[in-house]
Structure 1
Amino acid sequence: MTYITAGPSNGGPIRTGVVGYGLAGKVFHCPFIEASPEFSLDFIATNDPERRRQASRDYPRAAIVADANELLKHAADLDLVVLASPPGAHLEQGSAFLDQGVGVVVDKPFAASVAEAEELISKAEEVQRPLAVFQNRRWDGDFLTVKKILAAGELGEVYQFESSFEHWAPKTESRWQDVTPAALGGGVAYDLGSHLIDQALVLFGPVSAVRADLRTVREGGGNDDASYIELTHESGVRSRLWMSRVGAQPGPRFRVLGTAGAYVSYGLDGQEPALAAGILPTDERYGTEPAETWGTLGVSAPGYPAPSKVPTERGNYPAFYRGVAAAVQGTGPVPVEPHEALEVVKILERIHSEPQQP
């Protein structure tokens, strides 16, 4: 998908506003925008009093406004807006900024429905402005390692891909992920499953069949919180994906099985906790993983050498915003095409609307 852009209208850094200062805005977006000389962080929109104070302390040069509507009044002073808001708001907010000639980054889940995702894509094509979806876990270090191993053919013919994203949050909270119904993009399948499905599609391509088990385990849960999705790819590979908020002892992050061996890794990529701890993307430690967390490659069977440790590739979330800068400046494509993110939404909508197989 190609959009015609003229670059930042002021000839300088890409003037950027961020909608939302929860986990996504605070940890996954603002640090990269602030750290890159190609961007200026000019506005942060949040109506939560404590988050407003925190944003002002963290980014004193940014103007803090109440919400997306107030930020829209400053559209003439923006080249890009980042929607770190709940998925049910993405269509309305994204369309409004695109109509004002502002490029848009949308956090995942891309949209609450296929129809909303398609409408937002059509709007971006109509006004010829960049629209990118923040599927940041394409740049997880362990995922980059899997890609490297597959490209080298070290597993032979891959027939099964297992991936899990589980954490321990046994009580529901007031976050949109816990209280928003699936019809508006809430639940663990839309939240964490968006990452896992996207990674599977990147590795193994389109799917021919989908099966899922969506469960609500926690008392008072407003949506699914412990779910399983199985994808049969046209390539023949089967992806088995687990996502949970009640994973007291998580399983392997990745387990990739092939005819010549397997790769297994544990633990989530370290970029999120590093950012939450205040480690900036410019820090030399950023994106690196200690040897004790590396995955293993090989065969665990008599007569074979023990599986060997494989150094984890350096995590690289900054690559997403380098791609966004190129798209806004008109020198390259967006780093995650919205049509690719649309395929994820199609699968999520399908598993929520069709009767599920046991």
Structure 2
Amino acid sequence: MQLVKVGLCAFGMSGKVFHAPFLKQHPGFFLSAIVERSKEESKLQYPDAVIYHSVEEMLQNADVDLIVVNTPVQTHFEYTKMVLEAGKNVIVEKPFAVNVEEAEELVRIAESKNLFLSVYQNRRFDRDYLQVQKIISEGKLGAIKEVEIRFDRFRTEPSAKEHKENPELNGSGAVHDLGSHLVDQATQLFGFPEKTFADIFPMKGQNYANDYFEILLYYKNDVRVRLKSSAFTKEDHFAYKIHGDKGSFLQERSDNQENELVAGAIPLYGKDWVKPLAESDGILNYSDENSESKRVTTLSEQGNYMNYYQQIYEHIVFGYVLPSLGSEVVQNMKIIEAAIESSKKGKVIDLN
């Protein structure tokens, strides 16, 4: 098996949870370099990886084929550009960048150097999203008319992460963070919308970045897709509500990969590794081909973030399609930027 050597730009939460474990377990990758500015926490679990104290030092000295930029969003442009100019393929975490201009420049650099640039949209591999994708593709709901996708949390106290909480920093707040997932799922399911209208503000107060948003996407044929998130939601049931002219589908946000990884779960290669659900997590209510009404509970199949890295590996070795390529995710950035403009101006923004 061809071995792909990888460098990791940071060993914080994302490095420990979303990247290093998968790179270690996938037989086609070798995690050979990790940036830790002042600590050496990775040495115990990843003794074969060389620790560097800056991204610049890693680029100058490490023998790697691929680099993961998993630093705060405000540094994505700087580091991704640095990696590309050093001739390395790159995976950059969402949000891609703080604005469209930065994202487009990174895409241009990657294309000019014949390198690949993929954005780590791991929520495409959540069990709940995959179930929604499956139900829509089966056509049981008929023509889709109205959709709501939510990603709520109950985090009423500000975190200690300056890059997420400081309203003065471009890219801070829920719209760039959780909004990147919701916008991505909307465009994956329904394509690029025609217009948008948004309400975005900080529920914790003006000293903090936005932690609430509602983004309305206008599609052709009067289809509406609503994206919502709040940091003040103690309890919520269905994260996805899909309504068509033949029925409705309600789906809970049931994927537990992040929680299991934080708790120390080891992701397996080629196998399911998350705990199975104890009960159903969806409701499908539709009219069948005989116009008879049917209401059934559904159980989503397991998701697996390993599939993202498997697709990356297959692109490198076999030339298969690259997952979430930068030129595709730039479109998501355009929606996020337009939503912010809409909220500030209080008007609908034409995306065309």
Identify the match of residue 174 of structure 2 among 153, 169, 188.
188
- 1:297-355 alpha-carbon deviations (Å, 9 max, x no partner): 1159xx98673111202202111111211233352231112122101111111122341
Whole-angstrom CA distance in 2 between matches of 1:58 and 1:167: 31
Whole-angstrom CA distance in 2 between matches of 1:101 and 1:356: 43
**Residue matched to 1:320:** 308
8 Å CA contact 2:100–2:330 kept in 1: the answer is: yes
1:69 aligns with 2:59: no
Whole-angstrom CA distance in 2 between matches of 1:285 and 1:130: 28
Moved more, 141-150 or 192-201: 141-150
Please list, as runs of the form range in 1=range in 2, the aligned pairs for 1:207-286 lying within 5 A after superposition: 207-219=193-205, 221-234=207-220, 236-282=222-268, 284-286=271-273
> Cα distance 1:267–1:182, how it changes in 2: closer, same or farther (>3 A)?
farther
8 Å CA contact 1:298–1:308 kept in 2: the answer is: yes
Identify the match of residue 94 of structure 1 among 77, 80, 92.
80
1:352 aligns to what SS in structure 2? helix
- 1:92-151 alpha-carbon deviations (Å, 9 max, x no partner): 111111122211001000011101000000010011111100111111111111111111
1:343 aligns with 2:331: yes
1:352 aligns with 2:327: no
> Cα distance 1:124–1:239, how it changes in 2: closer, same or farther (>3 A)?
same
**Residue matched to 1:178:** 164
> How many pairs align?
342
**Residue matched to 1:40:** 30
8 Å CA contact 1:113–1:183 kept in 2: the answer is: no
* 1:226 maps to amino acid: Y
Please list, as runs of the form range in 1=range in 2, the aligned pairs for 1:16-35 lying within 5 A after superposition: 16-35=6-25
**Residue matched to 1:310:** 298
- 1:66-117 alpha-carbon deviations (Å, 9 max, x no partner): 2212222225x01000011112211211111112221100100001110100
Whole-angstrom CA distance in 1 between matches of 2:30 and 2:297: 41
The percent of aligned pairs where both chains have the same amino acid is 32
What residue ranges of structure 2 are gaps of 5+ in the alignment?
none
* 1:120 maps to amino acid: L
Moved over 3 A (4+): 180-183, 303-306
1:34 aligns to what SS in structure 2? helix
> Cα distance 1:237–1:74, how it changes in 2: closer, same or farther (>3 A)?
farther
8 Å CA contact 2:74–2:171 kept in 1: the answer is: yes
Whole-angstrom CA distance in 2 between matches of 1:182 and 1:105: 27
What residue ranges of structure 1 are gaps of 5+ in the alignment?
1-10
- Deviation at residue 221 of structure 1 after TM alignment: 4.3
8 Å CA contact 1:167–1:250 kept in 2: the answer is: no
Whole-angstrom CA distance in 2 between matches of 1:156 and 1:287: 32
**Residue matched to 2:128:** 142
* 1:110 maps to amino acid: F
Q: CA RMSD in A?
A: 2.3
